[in-house]
């Protein structure tokens, strides 16, 4: 890939050490070029006079102008995909909500100096977030296909069952996977449900701790109950469980009771939590009583798991390309032949109620 083809990224952070680490991480990917770094939004604006980046990584707490104010200015004057690089300190969760409302494509944790494994996982997440942002529909022209590095499958967390568990219940459970653009998609999806909707389990690619704030926000605006899942939570009608960031979530069954298991494990399809892990567990323990929804997001997490659910007799639905911010995960699921129907985002909740009544 030539330099012209590379994604141009501007790094904005008041910490010289963080800027150094971010530049090192981003330039380790041959498909990314850091075209500049800046300690605050004023310097960043000056840098952008000479080169317009494809993506900006932006800190929140900075001198002279905070990142959220700069984000609002960018989106109102010259929209560019922005990935917020935040920490969990202070009002981090409130800042995440505001950042998504103001137009950020994604929010990731700042890389920290730690073990080799921790640094490698940070590198994967940062580079993937930047690539996903570049492919989001803020862009006016499509990017060429971006190759990703090999990733672990759901085999790393749960074995594939030769056949689904024999079921004695007819209670439907709904499993949902989403990534880039998913926070808004899930809001629209969940707000449409009545109080007696089927039990729902959700994997949204999101940093740890932010999932609790996300669940609380949805719970405050939806008719159903929305909460961050904890290990052994029962799947209940009128309730949606969201996998906690940095943990895998699996569907399990004991008699007629469905519940979730929350556990550690390696990155699967470059993510933790992984949609593939949730879907594979549902193929095993729910079979034909499951319904899988795959929403907007870059990459292929969830595609293989959805095919396994489809083969086990579950109903499978993908968000269509027109309403997806990034048509990666739904598109890959369609290619694998695991999707029964593709629908606009606004029609998916009604389809769930129709099929699960």
Residue 292 parent element (H or E): strand 290-294
Mark which of 102, 135, 168 sits at the end of a domain: 135
Output the CA–CA distances (angstroms, integers) from residue 30 to 26, 46, 148, 152, 304, in the order listed.
9, 26, 11, 21, 27
Cα distance between residue 343 and residue 322, in whole Å = 9
Whole-number pLDDT of residue 144: 38
The DSSP bridge pattern shows strands 173-178 and 106-109 to be: unpaired
Cα distance between residue 254 and residue 14, in whole Å = 51
Cα distance between residue 121 and residue 347, in whole Å = 36
Domain of 129 in residue numbering reads as 3-135
State whether 120 and 245 are in the same domain.
no
State whether 313 and 249 are in the same domain.
yes
Cα distance between residue 21 and residue 77, in whole Å = 29
Whole-number pLDDT of residue 84: 92
Whole-number pLDDT of residue 162: 60
- Is 192 among the domain residues? yes
Which residue has 């380790």 as its token pair? Answer: 28
Cα distance between residue 319 and residue 296, in whole Å = 7
State whether 39 and 177 are in the same domain.
no
State whether 76 and 212 are in the same domain.
no
State whether 245 and 323 are in the same domain.
yes
Whole-number pLDDT of residue 141: 38
The pair of structure tokens assigned to 281 is 């567990």
State whether 340 and 214 are in the same domain.
yes
**Which residue stretches of the chain have pLDDT < 70?**
1-4, 88-93, 113-118, 138-154, 156-159, 161-170
State whether 172 and 262 are in the same domain.
yes
For the chain, the domain total comes to 2
Mark which of 75, 100, 135 sits at the end of a domain: 135
- Which residues are part of the catalytic machinery? 179, 205, 301
- Is 15 among the domain residues? yes
State whether 200 and 321 are in the same domain.
yes
Residue 45 is part of a domain; what is its CATH number? 3.40.50.2300
- Is 118 among the domain residues? yes
- Is 80 among the domain residues? yes
- Is 13 among the domain residues? yes
Residue 185 is part of a domain; what is its CATH number? 3.40.50.180
Q: Which of 58, 86, 92 lies closest to 72, judged by CA?
A: 58
- Is 149 among the domain residues? no
Mark which of 87, 104, 135 sits at the end of a domain: 135
State whether 75 and 178 are in the same domain.
no
Whole-number pLDDT of residue 235: 97
- Is 90 among the domain residues? yes
Q: Which of 163, 165, 169 lies closest to 356, judged by CA?
A: 169
Alpha helices for the chain (secondary structure H): 16-27, 41-47, 67-77, 92-102, 116-135, 182-191, 210-221, 275-285, 303-311, 329-335, 345-356
State whether 49 and 78 are in the same domain.
yes
Whole-number pLDDT of residue 143: 37
> What DSSP designation does 166 have?
P
State whether 192 and 285 are in the same domain.
yes
- Is 287 among the domain residues? yes
Whole-number pLDDT of residue 177: 98
Do the Cβ atoms of 205 and 215 come closer than 8 Å? no
State whether 98 and 17 are in the same domain.
yes
């Amino acid at each position: 890939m030539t330099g012209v083809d590379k994604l141009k990224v501007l790094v904005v952070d008041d910490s010289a050490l963080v800027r150094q680490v971010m530049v090192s991480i981003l330039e380790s990917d041959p498909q990314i070029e850091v075209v500049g770094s800046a300690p605050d939004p004023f310097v960043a604006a000056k840098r952008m006079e000479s080169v317009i980046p494809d993506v900006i990584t932006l800190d929140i707490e900075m001198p002279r102008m905070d990142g959220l104010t700069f984000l609002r200015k960018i989106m109102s004057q010259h929209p560019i995909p922005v990935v917020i690089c935040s920490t969990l300190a202070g009002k981090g969760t409130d800042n995440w909500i505001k950042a998504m409302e103001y137009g950020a494509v994604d929010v990731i944790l700042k890389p920290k100096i730690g073990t080799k494994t921790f640094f490698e996982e940070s590198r994967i997440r940062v580079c993937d977030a930047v690539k996903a942002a570049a492919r989001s529909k803020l862009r006016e022209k499509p990017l060429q296909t971006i190759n990703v590095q090999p990733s672990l499958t759901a085999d790393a967390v749960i074995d594939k069952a030769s056949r689904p568990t024999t079921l004695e219940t007819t209670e439907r459970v709904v499993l949902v996977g989403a990534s880039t653009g998913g926070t808004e998609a899930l809001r629209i999806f969940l707000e449409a449900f009545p109080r007696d909707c089927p039990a729902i389990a959700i994997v949204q690619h999101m940093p740890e701790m932010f999932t609790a704030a996300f669940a609380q926000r949805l719970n405050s605006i939806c008719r159903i109950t929305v909460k961050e899942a904890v290990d052994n939570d029962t799947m209940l009608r009128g309730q949606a469980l969201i996998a906690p960031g940095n943990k895998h979530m699996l569907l399990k069954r004991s008699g007629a009771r469905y519940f979730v298991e929350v556990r550690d494990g390696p990155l699967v399809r470059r993510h933790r939590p992984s949609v593939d892990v949730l879907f594979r567990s549902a193929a095993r323990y729910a079979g034909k009583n499951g319904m899988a929804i795959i929403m907007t997001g870059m990459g292929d997490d969830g595609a293989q798991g959805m095919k396994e659910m489809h083969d086990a007799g579950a109903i499978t639905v993908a968000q269509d390309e027109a309403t997806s911010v990034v048509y990666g995960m739904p598109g890959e699921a369609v290619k694998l032949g695991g999707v029964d129907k593709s629908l606009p985002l606004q029609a998916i909740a009604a389809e769930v109620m129709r099929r699960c009544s």
